Structure 1
Amino acid sequence: MADVEDAWTRVSGEAVRWLSELDPEHCYSGFEPPGRPDAAWLLHAMYVWRDGLVTTTHDDVYRSVRAAGLTEAEPAGELDVGELLEGSVVTGTELGRSGHPGPGWRRLRWAELARGFGEPVVPEGESPGHRCLRQAHPTGSWSAAIEPPAEGCLDRESWHRLMALLARHSPDGADTACLAYYCPLVTADWDDETVLSGRLIDAPELYDHPGMSSCPSNLWAADRSWVVYCDWDLWGTKVVGPARLVEAVLADGELEALRLPWTS
């Protein structure tokens, strides 16, 4: 594989205009394309400690550490926010890149957690985000034994798996020409649209692009046969394209995906 900064070159922001015309309201957090001809949502991975859930939350842990005088401690799973504002809650949710936490942790499927609490995986009318699985984080903070879904970025393992599926269902396979868009909430560039051009074979390396804190907000084939959308405020990534691609995403055992017709 080529170095990511050599393999992906910056192109004019005009390249993303077609997506902005499809979704003019989401220019700062990624563009959501309509689900045509088909679409599915990939749910960002979460993990649970091998010994199971505990009632202690990420917020409890953070406040206990602070109370013990370990003032250098920062909220687990969050950006460096310094002193929390009064009434704020440390949720434990990552913002940006995430991946398997390591030994002692196992993948916790959204469907497994939803069944345990007797609630839908994603409530009707909602997108995958903080309004989902509410009984698992009623105060806003998750159990300290759970690494919840990351916000704004697909997890590393799912990103790499998705790139492999896209290569199987793209017009030129791994050589398919692609474009990647990073929204201003990722780049902090509010004056110019950040669009990169490259090939699908080099798309896995985009996940760890040294100049970005996230996977692309949108990735699409140059012929627009499929589009990937990852909103900076959500816990899910939308894949839009032919039915055979979407069916492959839904059937893949390494991913957790579902259709949400009301988002299309």
Structure 2
Amino acid sequence: MADVEDAWEPVSGEATGWLKDLDPDHNHAGYQPPRRPDAVWILHSMYVWNGGLVTTTHDDVYQSARASGLAEPEAPGEIDRDLLEGAVVTGTRLGRGGHPGAGWRRLRWAELARGFGEPAVPEGALPGNRCLRQAHPTGSWSAAVEPPAEGCLDREGWRRLMSLLVRHDVEGEARRCYAYYCSLVTGDWDREAVLAGRLGDAAELYDHPAMSSCPSNLWPEDRSWIVYCDWDLWGTKVVGPASLIESILADPELEALRLPWST
């Protein structure tokens, strides 16, 4: 397989012009496309320690480690330590993530929601910190839970989605695609970061060494489908033909749902 930096070449930011027309106000966090003609949200994966939930939160662990003076605890995700002064450490990571390893199991949003007798995503909301509030009432999750990552689909979910897109697209792996990284990912507010390459090489974009996240948007040259990862959300939206959306909803490795209020 080709090196990701060789397989995906930088192209003009003008490639995002049509996305700006669809969503003119959100390029800093990714362009949210409308339903074209169907849409689904893939919920970013979360995990729970095999021993079960504990009442100790991620914030408790952070503050305890800091107060002990034995060691400076690791700052969660890509967060500046100065920003943690007086803030609640939620446990939610920003950017790339995936299965934590031995001792952890996948915790479906639906499983947690059933336990609390609430919907996984409240009506009118998008997948984000307004969801599953009873699981993090103070803002901080149980230390026995690795909550959904913000701004980026988990590694396993991204690779699975790419395999479904390859299977669905009539050109398969050869389909030419564009990947856009928003300014909140790149830190560059003066230009649009867009790469072009083959759909067959899109799985490798997840670990592009110059980026801290999967692409904010990914779409084929014919614009028949679009993937959207907002830097502020815990879900990834896919829009396109109903057949593609149904395949995502039916896939056992992904947790996905339609949100009728999300146009």
Q: TM-score interval w.r.t. the shorter chain?
A: over 0.9
Q: CA deviation at 1:72?
A: 1.9
Q: Which amino acid aligns with 1:129?
A: G
Partner in structure 2 of residue 201 of structure 1: 200
- In 1, Cα distance between the equivalents of 2:84 and 2:201? 42
Secondary structure (helix, strand or coil) at the match of 1:39 reads strand
2:151 matches 1:161: no
Partner in structure 1 of residue 70 of structure 2: 70
Partner in structure 2 of residue 177 of structure 1: 176
Per-residue CA shift, 1:179-208, capped at 9, x if unaligned? Answer: 000000000111110010000010000000
Per-residue CA shift, 1:47-99, capped at 9, x if unaligned? Answer: 00001100000000001111110342123x33242245553100000100000
- In 2, Cα distance between the equivalents of 1:222 and 1:245? 17
Secondary structure (helix, strand or coil) at the match of 2:47 reads strand
Q: CA deviation at 1:171?
A: 2.3
- In 2, Cα distance between the equivalents of 1:191 and 1:43? 31
2:207 matches 1:211: no
- 1:74·1:82 contact (CA, 8 Å) conserved in 2? no
Partner in structure 1 of residue 19 of structure 2: 19
Q: CA deviation at 1:120?
A: 0.7
Per-residue CA shift, 1:89-143, capped at 9, x if unaligned? Answer: 0000010000000000000000000000111110011010000000000000000
Per-residue CA shift, 1:133-172, capped at 9, x if unaligned? Answer: 0000000000000000000000000000000000011120
Q: 1:143 to 1:175 in 2, by over 3 A?
A: same
Q: Where does 1:42-53 land on structure 2 (aligned, <5 Å)? A: 42-53=42-53
Per-residue CA shift, 1:209-239, capped at 9, x if unaligned? Answer: 0000000000001100000000000000000
- In 2, Cα distance between the equivalents of 1:22 and 1:156? 27
- 1:42·1:237 contact (CA, 8 Å) conserved in 2? yes
Q: Where does 1:186-197 land on structure 2 (aligned, <5 Å)? A: 186-197=185-196
- 2:36·2:225 contact (CA, 8 Å) conserved in 1? no
- 2:65·2:72 contact (CA, 8 Å) conserved in 1? no
2:81 matches 1:82: yes
- In 1, Cα distance between the equivalents of 2:83 and 2:9? 39
Q: CA deviation at 1:42?
A: 0.2
The runs of 4+ residues in structure 1 deviating greater than 3 Å are 83-87
Q: 1:85 to 1:252 in 2, by over 3 A?
A: closer
Q: TM-score, normalised by structure 2?
A: 0.98
- In 2, Cα distance between the equivalents of 1:89 and 1:163? 35
- In 2, Cα distance between the equivalents of 1:14 and 1:78? 32
Secondary structure (helix, strand or coil) at the match of 1:238 reads strand
Partner in structure 1 of residue 220 of structure 2: 221
Q: 1:24 to 1:169 in 2, by over 3 A?
A: same
Q: CA deviation at 1:22?
A: 0.2
2:108 matches 1:109: yes
- In 2, Cα distance between the equivalents of 1:68 and 1:96? 29
- 1:74·1:81 contact (CA, 8 Å) conserved in 2? no
Secondary structure (helix, strand or coil) at the match of 1:240 reads strand
- 1:65·1:73 contact (CA, 8 Å) conserved in 2? yes
Partner in structure 1 of residue 133 of structure 2: 134
- 1:74·1:80 contact (CA, 8 Å) conserved in 2? no
Partner in structure 2 of residue 143 of structure 1: 142
Q: Which amino acid aligns with 1:119?
A: E
- 1:97·1:213 contact (CA, 8 Å) conserved in 2? yes
Partner in structure 2 of residue 120 of structure 1: 119
Partner in structure 2 of residue 94 of structure 1: 93
Residue range with higher mean Cα deviation, 251-260 or 82-91: 82-91
Secondary structure (helix, strand or coil) at the match of 2:121 reads coil
- Figure out how many residues of one structure are paired with residues of the other and give that number: 263
Secondary structure (helix, strand or coil) at the match of 2:25 reads helix
Partner in structure 1 of residue 256 of structure 2: 257
- In 2, Cα distance between the equivalents of 1:141 and 1:227? 32
Q: Which amino acid aligns with 1:96?
A: G
